[in-house]
Amino acid sequence: MAAPESFANTGARRLLIASVLGYLALFLLLPVAFILQQALAEGWRTYAQAARDPAARSALGLTLAAAAIAVPLNVVFGAAAAWAVAKFEFPGKSALIALIDLPLTISPVISGLMLVLVFGLEGWLGDWLRARGLAVIFAPPGIVLATLFVTLPFAARELIPLMAERGKDDEEAAVLLGADGWQTFWRVTLPEIKWGVLYGAVLCASRAIGEFGAVSVVSGHVRGRTNTLTLHVEALYNEYHMSAAFAVASLLTLLALATMALQAWLDRRAATAGGPP
Protein backbone atom coordinates (compact mmCIF):
# COMPACT_ATOMS: atom_id res chain seq x y z
CA MET A 1 0.00 0.00 0.00
CA ALA A 2 2.79 2.35 0.91
CA ALA A 3 4.56 2.25 -2.43
CA PRO A 4 1.74 3.44 -4.73
CA GLU A 5 0.78 6.16 -2.29
CA SER A 6 4.24 7.56 -1.92
CA PHE A 7 4.58 7.36 -5.70
CA ALA A 8 1.33 9.27 -6.13
CA ASN A 9 2.42 11.92 -3.67
CA THR A 10 5.62 12.81 -5.45
CA GLY A 11 5.60 15.44 -8.11
CA ALA A 12 6.89 12.76 -10.49
CA ARG A 13 3.37 11.73 -11.35
CA ARG A 14 2.25 15.23 -12.26
CA LEU A 15 5.46 15.92 -14.13
CA LEU A 16 5.14 12.69 -16.11
CA ILE A 17 1.54 13.31 -17.10
CA ALA A 18 2.23 16.95 -17.94
CA SER A 19 5.17 16.08 -20.17
CA VAL A 20 3.24 13.35 -22.00
CA LEU A 21 0.29 15.67 -22.59
CA GLY A 22 2.61 18.50 -23.62
CA TYR A 23 4.39 16.24 -26.08
CA LEU A 24 1.11 15.07 -27.57
CA ALA A 25 -0.17 18.63 -27.84
CA LEU A 26 2.99 19.88 -29.51
CA PHE A 27 3.47 17.07 -32.03
CA LEU A 28 -0.05 15.75 -32.59
CA LEU A 29 -2.83 18.15 -31.68
CA LEU A 30 -1.13 21.32 -32.85
CA PRO A 31 -0.40 20.15 -36.41
CA VAL A 32 -3.93 18.77 -36.81
CA ALA A 33 -5.42 22.00 -35.52
CA PHE A 34 -3.08 23.93 -37.80
CA ILE A 35 -4.23 21.95 -40.83
CA LEU A 36 -7.86 22.75 -40.08
CA GLN A 37 -7.08 26.37 -39.35
CA GLN A 38 -5.10 26.79 -42.57
CA ALA A 39 -7.79 25.01 -44.56
CA LEU A 40 -10.36 27.47 -43.35
CA ALA A 41 -8.00 30.49 -43.45
CA GLU A 42 -9.57 32.00 -46.49
CA GLY A 43 -13.06 31.27 -45.39
CA TRP A 44 -15.43 28.37 -45.59
CA ARG A 45 -16.19 29.07 -49.24
CA THR A 46 -12.62 28.51 -50.45
CA TYR A 47 -12.61 25.31 -48.44
CA ALA A 48 -15.80 24.08 -50.04
CA GLN A 49 -14.53 25.08 -53.44
CA ALA A 50 -11.27 23.20 -52.98
CA ALA A 51 -13.12 20.13 -51.85
CA ARG A 52 -15.53 20.37 -54.81
CA ASP A 53 -12.73 20.81 -57.33
CA PRO A 54 -13.02 17.96 -59.93
CA ALA A 55 -9.35 17.06 -59.47
CA ALA A 56 -9.87 16.71 -55.70
CA ARG A 57 -12.99 14.63 -56.19
CA SER A 58 -11.24 12.39 -58.69
CA ALA A 59 -8.36 11.97 -56.22
CA LEU A 60 -10.79 11.09 -53.45
CA GLY A 61 -12.52 8.60 -55.74
CA LEU A 62 -9.25 6.93 -56.71
CA THR A 63 -8.09 6.73 -53.11
CA LEU A 64 -11.34 5.16 -51.96
CA ALA A 65 -11.43 2.80 -54.95
CA ALA A 66 -7.87 1.60 -54.29
CA ALA A 67 -8.75 1.05 -50.63
CA ALA A 68 -12.00 -0.69 -51.56
CA ILE A 69 -10.09 -3.17 -53.72
CA ALA A 70 -7.05 -3.64 -51.47
CA VAL A 71 -8.88 -4.09 -48.16
CA PRO A 72 -11.14 -7.05 -49.01
CA LEU A 73 -8.40 -8.82 -50.97
CA ASN A 74 -5.86 -8.44 -48.20
CA VAL A 75 -8.34 -9.41 -45.49
CA VAL A 76 -9.20 -12.61 -47.37
CA PHE A 77 -5.50 -13.25 -47.96
CA GLY A 78 -4.72 -12.49 -44.30
CA ALA A 79 -7.40 -14.85 -43.04
CA ALA A 80 -6.22 -17.62 -45.37
CA ALA A 81 -2.57 -17.11 -44.40
CA ALA A 82 -3.42 -17.02 -40.70
CA TRP A 83 -5.47 -20.20 -41.04
CA ALA A 84 -2.66 -21.96 -42.87
CA VAL A 85 0.01 -20.83 -40.41
CA ALA A 86 -2.01 -21.52 -37.27
CA LYS A 87 -3.60 -24.85 -38.14
CA PHE A 88 -1.12 -26.69 -40.33
CA GLU A 89 2.51 -27.66 -40.37
CA PHE A 90 4.17 -27.37 -43.76
CA PRO A 91 7.66 -26.75 -45.09
CA GLY A 92 8.48 -23.09 -45.61
CA LYS A 93 6.08 -21.93 -42.91
CA SER A 94 8.52 -19.55 -41.23
CA ALA A 95 9.61 -18.26 -44.64
CA LEU A 96 5.98 -17.46 -45.39
CA ILE A 97 5.62 -15.51 -42.15
CA ALA A 98 8.77 -13.53 -42.93
CA LEU A 99 7.59 -12.90 -46.47
CA ILE A 100 4.30 -11.46 -45.26
CA ASP A 101 6.27 -8.83 -43.35
CA LEU A 102 8.32 -7.83 -46.39
CA PRO A 103 6.19 -4.84 -47.43
CA LEU A 104 6.64 -3.41 -43.92
CA THR A 105 10.40 -3.66 -43.96
CA ILE A 106 11.17 -2.26 -47.39
CA SER A 107 10.62 1.40 -48.15
CA PRO A 108 7.38 2.20 -50.03
CA VAL A 109 9.43 3.95 -52.71
CA ILE A 110 11.25 0.68 -53.40
CA SER A 111 7.89 -1.09 -53.58
CA GLY A 112 6.80 1.39 -56.23
CA LEU A 113 10.03 0.96 -58.17
CA MET A 114 9.61 -2.82 -58.14
CA LEU A 115 6.22 -2.42 -59.74
CA VAL A 116 7.70 -0.13 -62.40
CA LEU A 117 10.39 -2.74 -63.10
CA VAL A 118 7.76 -5.41 -63.64
CA PHE A 119 4.87 -3.55 -65.26
CA GLY A 120 6.55 -0.43 -66.69
CA LEU A 121 7.06 0.07 -70.42
CA GLU A 122 10.69 -1.01 -70.05
CA GLY A 123 9.79 -3.70 -67.49
CA TRP A 124 9.48 -7.48 -67.77
CA LEU A 125 5.86 -7.37 -68.80
CA GLY A 126 6.15 -4.07 -70.70
CA ASP A 127 6.02 -5.50 -74.22
CA TRP A 128 3.25 -7.93 -73.36
CA LEU A 129 1.13 -5.16 -71.84
CA ARG A 130 1.81 -2.73 -74.67
CA ALA A 131 0.84 -5.33 -77.25
CA ARG A 132 -2.55 -5.59 -75.58
CA GLY A 133 -2.96 -1.87 -75.04
CA LEU A 134 -2.94 -2.24 -71.27
CA ALA A 135 -1.47 0.48 -69.04
CA VAL A 136 -0.55 -0.37 -65.48
CA ILE A 137 2.13 2.11 -64.56
CA PHE A 138 1.04 5.77 -64.70
CA ALA A 139 -2.54 4.48 -64.63
CA PRO A 140 -5.09 3.53 -61.94
CA PRO A 141 -4.22 -0.21 -62.01
CA GLY A 142 -0.72 0.68 -60.86
CA ILE A 143 -2.12 2.67 -57.95
CA VAL A 144 -4.26 -0.30 -56.94
CA LEU A 145 -1.30 -2.71 -57.21
CA ALA A 146 0.91 -0.41 -55.12
CA THR A 147 -1.79 -0.07 -52.49
CA LEU A 148 -2.30 -3.84 -52.44
CA PHE A 149 1.39 -4.42 -51.95
CA VAL A 150 1.97 -1.99 -49.08
CA THR A 151 -1.20 -3.01 -47.18
CA LEU A 152 -0.66 -6.75 -47.57
CA PRO A 153 0.73 -7.48 -44.07
CA PHE A 154 -1.84 -5.67 -41.92
CA ALA A 155 -4.73 -8.12 -41.78
CA ALA A 156 -2.43 -11.15 -41.74
CA ARG A 157 -0.33 -9.79 -38.88
CA GLU A 158 -3.46 -9.11 -36.89
CA LEU A 159 -4.95 -12.55 -37.50
CA ILE A 160 -1.94 -14.88 -37.24
CA PRO A 161 -1.40 -14.44 -33.47
CA LEU A 162 -5.15 -14.48 -32.87
CA MET A 163 -5.59 -17.77 -34.72
CA ALA A 164 -2.48 -19.29 -33.17
CA GLU A 165 -3.68 -18.41 -29.68
CA ARG A 166 -7.10 -19.92 -30.31
CA GLY A 167 -5.65 -23.28 -31.22
CA LYS A 168 -7.67 -25.75 -33.24
CA ASP A 169 -9.83 -27.42 -30.59
CA ASP A 170 -12.96 -25.55 -31.65
CA GLU A 171 -12.57 -26.51 -35.29
CA GLU A 172 -11.87 -30.12 -34.36
CA ALA A 173 -14.95 -30.14 -32.14
CA ALA A 174 -17.06 -28.76 -35.00
CA VAL A 175 -15.77 -31.37 -37.44
CA LEU A 176 -16.41 -34.20 -34.98
CA LEU A 177 -19.96 -32.89 -34.57
CA GLY A 178 -20.45 -33.39 -38.29
CA ALA A 179 -19.71 -29.93 -39.73
CA ASP A 180 -17.90 -29.73 -43.07
CA GLY A 181 -15.05 -27.30 -43.71
CA TRP A 182 -17.30 -24.55 -45.00
CA GLN A 183 -19.73 -24.80 -42.06
CA THR A 184 -16.81 -24.88 -39.64
CA PHE A 185 -15.40 -21.67 -41.08
CA TRP A 186 -18.66 -19.72 -41.22
CA ARG A 187 -20.20 -20.94 -37.98
CA VAL A 188 -17.19 -21.37 -35.71
CA THR A 189 -13.98 -19.73 -36.95
CA LEU A 190 -15.29 -16.50 -38.46
CA PRO A 191 -17.60 -15.53 -35.56
CA GLU A 192 -14.72 -16.03 -33.15
CA ILE A 193 -12.21 -13.97 -35.13
CA LYS A 194 -14.57 -11.36 -36.59
CA TRP A 195 -13.34 -8.51 -34.41
CA GLY A 196 -9.78 -9.29 -35.38
CA VAL A 197 -10.82 -9.36 -39.05
CA LEU A 198 -12.52 -5.97 -38.76
CA TYR A 199 -9.58 -4.52 -36.87
CA GLY A 200 -7.21 -5.77 -39.56
CA ALA A 201 -9.48 -4.27 -42.21
CA VAL A 202 -9.40 -0.88 -40.50
CA LEU A 203 -5.61 -0.91 -40.19
CA CYS A 204 -5.39 -1.91 -43.82
CA ALA A 205 -7.82 0.82 -44.90
CA SER A 206 -6.05 3.60 -43.01
CA ARG A 207 -2.74 2.60 -44.54
CA ALA A 208 -4.32 2.38 -48.00
CA ILE A 209 -5.77 5.87 -47.68
CA GLY A 210 -2.60 7.40 -46.29
CA GLU A 211 -0.08 5.70 -48.60
CA PHE A 212 2.18 8.13 -50.44
CA GLY A 213 5.58 6.76 -51.41
CA ALA A 214 4.68 3.70 -53.47
CA VAL A 215 1.76 5.30 -55.29
CA SER A 216 3.85 8.39 -55.98
CA VAL A 217 6.34 6.29 -57.97
CA VAL A 218 3.72 4.50 -60.08
CA SER A 219 1.22 7.33 -60.47
CA GLY A 220 2.80 9.71 -62.96
CA HIS A 221 0.78 12.50 -61.31
CA VAL A 222 -1.84 12.93 -64.01
CA ARG A 223 -4.26 15.31 -62.35
CA GLY A 224 -7.84 14.08 -62.41
CA ARG A 225 -6.71 10.60 -63.44
CA THR A 226 -3.90 9.07 -61.44
CA ASN A 227 -3.63 11.34 -58.43
CA THR A 228 -4.71 9.99 -55.08
CA LEU A 229 -5.62 12.31 -52.21
CA THR A 230 -2.09 12.33 -50.79
CA LEU A 231 -0.59 13.02 -54.22
CA HIS A 232 -3.15 15.74 -54.82
CA VAL A 233 -2.18 17.43 -51.56
CA GLU A 234 1.45 17.39 -52.64
CA ALA A 235 0.59 18.80 -56.08
CA LEU A 236 -1.46 21.63 -54.62
CA TYR A 237 1.24 22.42 -52.10
CA ASN A 238 3.94 22.52 -54.76
CA GLU A 239 1.85 24.96 -56.72
CA TYR A 240 1.43 27.23 -53.70
CA HIS A 241 -2.33 26.62 -53.45
CA MET A 242 -1.95 26.63 -49.72
CA SER A 243 -5.50 26.72 -48.50
CA ALA A 244 -6.60 24.23 -51.17
CA ALA A 245 -3.75 21.92 -50.11
CA PHE A 246 -4.79 22.23 -46.51
CA ALA A 247 -8.44 21.71 -47.38
CA VAL A 248 -7.66 18.38 -49.06
CA ALA A 249 -5.26 17.54 -46.24
CA SER A 250 -8.04 18.16 -43.76
CA LEU A 251 -10.19 15.73 -45.71
CA LEU A 252 -7.47 13.11 -45.31
CA THR A 253 -7.17 13.96 -41.65
CA LEU A 254 -10.89 13.47 -41.16
CA LEU A 255 -10.70 10.08 -42.85
CA ALA A 256 -7.83 9.18 -40.54
CA LEU A 257 -9.72 10.34 -37.46
CA ALA A 258 -12.76 8.32 -38.52
CA THR A 259 -10.73 5.14 -38.94
CA MET A 260 -9.05 5.83 -35.61
CA ALA A 261 -12.42 6.11 -33.87
CA LEU A 262 -13.51 2.89 -35.56
CA GLN A 263 -10.28 1.27 -34.41
CA ALA A 264 -10.83 2.32 -30.80
CA TRP A 265 -14.39 1.03 -30.88
CA LEU A 266 -13.29 -2.29 -32.38
CA ASP A 267 -10.58 -2.56 -29.77
CA ARG A 268 -13.15 -2.30 -27.02
CA ARG A 269 -15.47 -4.73 -28.79
CA ALA A 270 -12.67 -7.23 -29.28
CA ALA A 271 -11.70 -6.97 -25.61
CA THR A 272 -15.22 -7.87 -24.53
CA ALA A 273 -15.81 -10.37 -27.35
CA GLY A 274 -17.19 -13.66 -26.16
CA GLY A 275 -19.47 -11.84 -23.79
CA PRO A 276 -23.22 -11.70 -24.24
CA PRO A 277 -24.31 -9.57 -27.16
Partner 1 sequence: MSIDVRHVSKTFNGFAALRDVSLRVAAGELVALLGPSGCGKTTLLRVIAGLEAPDPGGSVGFGGALAEARRIGFVFQHYALFRHMTVFENVAFGLRVRRGPRRLDEAQIREKVSALLRLVQLEMLARHHPHQLSGGQRQRVALARALAVEPKALLLDEPFGALDARVRQELRRWLRRLHEELRITSIFVTHDQEEALELAERIVVLNQGRVEQEGSPAEVFHRPASEFVMNFVGSVNLFHGRLVQGRPVFETAPGAPATRFCSRPHELEIETRRDGGSSLPARVVRVFDAGAHVKMELRGREGQAWHVELNPERYRELGLRSGQEVWVRPRRFRVFPAGDGSFPREPI
- Rounded Cα distance between 273 and 178, Å, is 26
Q: Is 191 exposed, middle or buried (0-12, 13-18, 19+ CB in 10 A)?
A: exposed
Task: Rank residues 5 and 169 by Cβ distance to partner 1 and give the closer one.
Answer: 169
Query: For partner 1, which is the closer residue by CB, 170 or 267?
Result: 170
Amino acid letter, 84: A
Handedness of CA 116, 118, 120, 123 (dihedral sign): positive
Q: How far is the CB of 265 from partner 1 (least distance, A)?
A: 18
Closest to partner 1 by CB, 166 vs 241, is 166
Nearer to partner 1, 185 or 237 (CB): 185
What is the nearest approach in angstroms of partner 1 to the Cβ of residue 263?
Answer: 21
Nearest distance from residue 277's CB to partner 1, in Å? 9
Q: Which is nearer to partner 1, 122 or 180 (CB)?
A: 180
Total residues contacting partner 1 (rule CB under 8 A)?
19
Q: Where are the alpha helices (DSSP H) in the chain?
A: 2-9, 11-24, 30-39, 43-52, 54-87, 93-100, 102-105, 108-119, 126-131, 140-166, 169-176, 181-184, 190-210, 213-219, 229-238, 242-272
CB of 161 to partner 1, least distance (A): 17
- Residue 84 binding partner 1, by CB under 8 A: no
Q: At what angle do helices 242-272 and 190-210 cross, to 10 degrees?
A: 170
Residue 55 within binding range of partner 1, rule CB under 8 A: no
Residues numbered 166-195 forming contacts with partner 1, rule: CB under 8 A: 169-170, 172-174, 176-180, 183, 187-188, 191-192
Q: Which of 197, 191, 153, 159 is nearest to 83 (CA)?
A: 159
- Cα–Cα distance between 277 and 271 in angstroms, integer? 13
Smallest distance, partner 1 to C-beta of residue 235, A: 48
CB of 63 to partner 1, least distance (A): 34
Which residues, other chains included, contact 174 with Cβ-Cβ below 8 Å and sequence gap of 6+? 183, 184, 187, 188
Q: Which residue stretch of 22-30, 59-67, 233-241, 267-275 sits at the interface with partner 1 (rule: CB under 8 A)?
A: 267-275
C-alpha–C-alpha distance, residues 206 and 209, integer Å: 5
42 contributes a contact to partner 1 by CB under 8 A: no
x-or-dash pattern for partner 1, window 121-160, by CB under 8 A?
Answer: ----------------------------------------
Please report how close the Cβ of residue 163 comes to partner 1 at its closest, in angstroms: 14
Q: Which residues make up the interface to partner 1 (CB under 8 A)? A: 169-170, 172-174, 176-180, 183, 187-188, 191-192, 273-276
